[in-house]
Amino acid sequence: MKIKINRKEFCDAFVVGSQMAGKSKVLSVLDNAKVVIRGNNAYVTSNSVQCCVTKKAMLVSSDGDVEFLVNPNDLLKGLKSLRDNELTITISSVSLSIAHNRGRIEIPVMGATDFPMMDKVESSDVYTLDSVRLSSWLTVAGSFASTDELRPVLCGMLLYAKGGVIGACATDTRILFADSYEADTVKDVECVIPSSAFSALKTLLRGTESVDVALNEKHISFKTDDARLICQLQIGRFPDFSRVIPQGNNISVSVGMDDLIDAINRVGLFTDKSHSLVRMDIQGMLCRLTGSDLNLGKSATDECMCQHSGDDIKIGVSAEYLLKCINSLSYGDIVMTFSEPNRPILFKDSVNERMQMLMMPMSLNE
């Protein structure tokens, strides 16, 4: 059978729909993408066992229906090497042939019978989330989620709806990010989206305004007008993060983002790479950062002007984690609040008052 495609639209669909191909270490069939032709629509699906993504593309024309498996890298390389915007593809039981004005490309295909699919998530409770906000949450969560496979529930982002609030949280127990917004909620729900789904979900959300979210006991589904992502939920109950967010920090420091980032980057070059410990010494209107590597006999000190209220404080921080927190905040002055050298540091966002980030300090051993 033959189909005519718009090359750009078909490529875009394959980029989204084939993201999970090759990510399974168990089934070799999942190295391929499944293509389903129904009428003038093509559906591209890939599966990693943990996540399954499908993207729809409109065809110019089709003379039948067919299902087949194809290596997405081979097909994309072939399509991207061409300049023609409209192409004719001939599909047989063993190959896919792309005719163009200077020749032909042949790519092997196989039957789709053995390709596993995830069942659609059926739920009467569907939440519609803002795509831009969800995508920004996933971007931040990528830096905050744990990579410790012994604690899988922390290897992802908590997404919850409760009491008129929809929110997200991610933590590796050293740093934590949380954000929320007011919205109509049907009932209290929460789930943990695995970090392996972050990239695919952000790609699926690109260019959309909203996404419909539904979940059951084992899976969560994200659906836009022309794409769907289904993924397994992380097993376990996410800890009550609200209990660790400090409420009584009485020391506040405001410092310019650029100045602080420059200081951390310079001092961080001379810290012990095994822990990247930096001493933050706040006295009056001065924030002094000091890092050293005693084993190699090197050290560095940098200073920033700041606005400071409350007592002076000396506290140990990880340069790596401090940068993760700062880079996730809106541009402007960084506001940090403290209570004691062994208590969490809370970061306030200059634009979003609901955004909360905290970092656990490190011992200075002085």
Residue 165 has pLDDT above 80, yes or no: yes
Residue 266 has pLDDT above 70, yes or no: yes
Q: Looking at residues 151-173, what average pLDDT do you find?
A: 93
Residue 280 has pLDDT above 80, yes or no: yes
The confidence score (pLDDT) of residue 331 equals 84
Q: In this predicted model, what pLDDT tens digit does every residue of 337-356 receive, in sequence order?
A: 999 999 999 998 888 888 99
The confidence score (pLDDT) of residue 366 equals 58
The confidence score (pLDDT) of residue 189 equals 87
Q: Looking at residues 307-319, what average pLDDT do you find?
A: 94
The confidence band for 184, taking pLDDT boundaries of 50, 70 and 90, is confident
The confidence band for 109, taking pLDDT boundaries of 50, 70 and 90, is very high
Alpha carbon 239 to its chain centroid, in Å, reads: 20
Percent of the chain with pLDDT over 70: 99
Residue 191 has pLDDT above 80, yes or no: yes
The confidence score (pLDDT) of residue 74 equals 95
As a three-state string, the secondary structure of the chain is CEEEEEHHHHHHHHHHHCCCCCCCCCCHHHHCEEEEEECCEEEEEEECCCEEEEEEEECCEECCCEEEEECHHHHHHHHHCCCCCEEEEEECCCEEEEEECCEEEEEEEECCCCCCCCCCCCCCCCEEEEHHHHHHHHHHHHHHCCCCCCCHHHCEEEEEEECCEEEEEEECCCEEEEEEEECCCCCCEEEEEEHHHHHHHHHHHCCCCEEEEEECCCEEEEECCCEEEEEECCCCCCCCHHHCCCCCCCEEEEEEHHHHHHHHHHHHCCCCCCCCEEEEEEECCEEEEEEEECCCCEEEEEEEECEEECCCEEEEEEHHHHHHHHHCCCCCEEEEEECCCCCCEEEECCCCCCCEEEECCECCCC
Residue 124 has pLDDT above 80, yes or no: no
